[in-house]
Amino acid sequence: YNSTYSLPPSLQTDNAWAGLFPNTSGFIQNPRIPNETLAIAAFHQLHCLNGLRLAYYNSSYGNNPHVHDHQPSHVRHCIDYLRQSIMCAADANVEPVQQSLGGVTGWNTERNCRDYRGLVTWAN
């Protein structure tokens, strides 16, 4: 569990989130399709998750200079986009219920992951 990504906006957390993205922010050009910019879904999903984090803290604690570009329509888009992404991935890993921690945390579950850093390298 890395709490950095769930903490309120700050220089440290904003830099941590920025470090998850390639230099292109996840946008690429396909040389076979001139004049068209494409977005890699994993980075769009992370952008939305971070946007929900920023909107949550802005809503909970008031205006924050680190919050930008997260109007209600953008937040609604992100909620449904992440819903679709989660349902599409349909992660069938089994997670233990930990009553002492209040239910299911999702921690300490073995997962087979894709090579995220490889995707960042490729996108750069």
* Contacts of 24-28 spanning 24+ positions with Cβ under 8 A: 24/123, 24/124, 26/123, 28/123
Residue 52 to residues 16, 48, 49, 84, Cα–Cα distance (Å)? 16, 6, 5, 15
Q: What is the mean pLDDT of residues 49-54?
A: 94
Q: What is the mean pLDDT of residues 83-100?
A: 92
Instruction: Report the alpha-carbon distance of residue 84 to residue 61 in Å, rounded.
Output: 29
Instruction: Report the alpha-carbon distance of residue 21 to residue 93 in Å, rounded.
Output: 26
Q: What is the pLDDT of residues 1-50, one digit of tens each?
A: 788 999 999 999 999 999 999 999 999 998 888 899 999 999 999 999 99
Q: What is the mean pLDDT of the chain?
A: 89
Q: What is the pLDDT of residue 68?
A: 55
Q: What is the pLDDT of residue 62?
A: 76
From the list 95, 108, 122, 98, the residue with the least C-alpha distance to 22 is: 122
From the list 23, 24, 3, 4, the residue with the least C-alpha distance to 14 is: 4
Query: What share of the chain in percent tops pLDDT 70?
Result: 94
